[in-house]
């Protein structure tokens, strides 16, 4: 069992320790401190300060954990986290303001509003592939909504996990925001507790464990999972731009170790050779001829994931389908960008999320046939289409169910804070980013206001025939019937 150390003794983080932690956080939340606008702003500003003052150390930790290129780490982790924080600071007052809504004739005279209130004590379990962004982005939403919280970073990215704990204690309010490091025992101890909401980012197997634990307490859950995100490539496109954008979304995003990275391509049999030739040029332009030596490609996170990807490549019915790449460096946990053509439908690589630098191409007779392939599978976290055909684009959006979509590019929808980011079906449940993060960690409380005027006697017994006519007319929204009932007439 992993242990959490203090300056005196070694303290095991077990269920009892977790219970005490949650009680302390709940006591702090019930004091009302985290609900104030001032507290929320102070924490968000402190987080920005934390990032600005320690940017290089953050980038260094990402290099240690994933060999992430510095520019990629800055753009996809540091910059996006700062952007989420900045948006929350700019919009927070507006988000917190009650929303006025209309009322009905049956409550006249009255007014109504929707009040956003914090849920309480939140558990956030983050992932290893974007260990900084995927840890702090939901924390920003939980802070903005006024909650207390625990962040459990992934033990698979230990350098970033350690950094998050160290700097959270230094910059943030530790009476309301705690970081707990560890592995399965610590996570299990946390999951035994009663939370007001849990957000988990990771895979479906662990997602089921999280949901089962949450069900014991009727705790609502946001699951940010993944799946096999397809890319349909039509033939009427700018091929150079398309391959650059697909390559950037696949190999430029943590070398394919991203939940929204393209997982497989569908194109026509006649267009596939042109597409492969274009990829060959693009990959050489991006990463050189010896791509294993490129400093612009992340390594595979650990030996277990490396072995998993090798298993995909070495399967008998797949090994001869490689048309580009395929080189490996087991010592340095590197696999070159690899493209495979027409792998069998029942192969491992076509039935499990790849989460790595391997990209199969599936061919069809007509591009429209690709829709049936996607619909026959679990709903993906992302779906991409490259085309200049507006009719095909419209059919794609209306007929394919996915967490999110992007036309003529990949992965960039993640950066648009006005769009919800989340899955559907087995790719996840719930969404966050921007105001959606605030809403995810808030309860929308409906409030109706009435005075003492307009107290209609028809509401109360005894229910005479006249009162019944009036009530029926009111409930049916029949203004003419209401008038007739008030003056003692009936429609008959």
Q: Which residues are catalytic?
A: 224, 259
Whole-angstrom Cα distance, residue 248 to residue 260?
12
CB 387 within 8 A of CB 408: yes
Rg (CA), the chain: 27
Burial classification of residue 146, based on how many CB atoms lie within 10 Å of its CB (0-12 exposed, 13-18 middle, 19 or more buried): buried
Name which of 416, 378, 4, 376 is nearest 183 in CA terms: 4
Q: Supply the DSSP string of 322-380, one letter for each residue.
A: EEE---EETTTTEE--EEEES--TTSGGGTS---SSEEEEEEESSGGGHHHHHHTSPPP
Q: How many Cβ atoms from other residues are within 10 Å of residue 235's Cβ?
A: 17
DSSP character at residue 112? E
Count Cβ atoms within 10 A of the Cβ of residue 389 and give its class: 0-12 exposed, 13-18 middle, 19 or more buried. Answer: middle
Give one DSSP letter per residue of 185-202, joined into a string.
Answer: HHHHHHHTS--SEEEEES
What number of CA atoms fall less than 13 Å from residue 74's CA on the CB side?
8
Asked if residue 447 lies in contact with residue 434, where contact means CB atoms within 8 angstroms, the answer is: no
Tell me the C-alpha distance between 369 and 267, whole Å: 9
């Amino acid at each position: 069992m992993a242990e959490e150390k203090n300056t005196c003794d070694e303290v095991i983080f077990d269920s009892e320790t977790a219970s005490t932690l949650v009680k302390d956080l709940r006591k702090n939340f019930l004091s009302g401190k985290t609900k104030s606008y001032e507290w929320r702003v102070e924490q968000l500003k402190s987080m920005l300060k934390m990032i600005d003052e320690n940017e290089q150390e953050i980038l260094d930790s990402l290099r240690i954990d994933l060999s992430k290129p510095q520019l990629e780490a800055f753009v996809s982790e540091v910059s996006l986290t700062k952007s989420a924080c900045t948006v929350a600071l700019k919009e927070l007052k507006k988000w917190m303001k009650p929303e006025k809504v209309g009322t009905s004739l049956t409550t006249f005279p009255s007014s109504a509003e929707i009040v956003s209130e914090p849920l309480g004590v939140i558990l956030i379990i983050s992932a290893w592939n974007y260990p900084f962004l995927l840890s702090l982005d939901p924390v920003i939403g939980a802070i903005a909504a006024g909650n207390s919280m625990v962040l459990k970073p992934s033990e698979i990215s230990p350098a970033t996990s350690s950094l998050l704990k160290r700097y959270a204690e230094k910059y943030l309010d530790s009476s309301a925001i705690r970081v707990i490091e560890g592995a399965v025992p610590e996570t299990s101890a946390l999951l035994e507790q009663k939370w007001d909401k849990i957000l988990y980012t990771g895979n479906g197997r662990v997602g089921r464990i999280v949901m089962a634990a949450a069900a014991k307490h009727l705790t609502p859950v946001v699951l940010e999972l993944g799946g096999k995100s397809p890319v349909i490539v039509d033939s009427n496109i700018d091929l150079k731009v398309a391959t650059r954008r697909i390559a950037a979304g696949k190999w430029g995003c943590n070398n394919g170790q991203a939940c929204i990275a393209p997982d497989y391509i569908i194109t026509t049999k006649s267009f596939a050779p042109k597409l492969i030739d274009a990829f060959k040029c693009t990959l050489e332009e991006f990463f050189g001829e010896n791509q294993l030596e490129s400093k612009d490609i992340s390594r595979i996170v650990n030996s277990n994931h490396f072995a998993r990807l090798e298993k995909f490549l070495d399967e008998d019915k797949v090994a001869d389908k490689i048309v580009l790449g395929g080189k490996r460096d087991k010592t340095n946990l590197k696999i070159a960008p690899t493209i495979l053509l027409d792998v069998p439908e029942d192969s491992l690589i076509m039935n499990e999320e790849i989460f790595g630098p391997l990209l199969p191409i599936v061919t069809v007779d007509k591009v429209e046939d690709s829709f049936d392939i996607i619909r026959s599978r679990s709903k993906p976290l992302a779906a991409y289409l490259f085309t200049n055909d507006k009719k095909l684009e419209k059919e794609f959006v209306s007929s394919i169910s996915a967490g999110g979509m992007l036309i003529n590019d990949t992965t960039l929808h993640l950066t648009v804070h006005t769009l919800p980011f989340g899955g559907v079906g087995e790719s996840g449940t719930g969404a966050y980013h921007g105001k959606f993060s605030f809403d995810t960690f808030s309860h929308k409380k409906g409030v109706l206001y009435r005075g003492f005027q307009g107290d209609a006697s028809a509401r109360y017994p005894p229910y005479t025939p006249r009162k019944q006519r009036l009530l029926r007319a009111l409930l049916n929204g029949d203004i003419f019937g209401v008038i007739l009932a008030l003056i003692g007439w009936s429609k008959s």
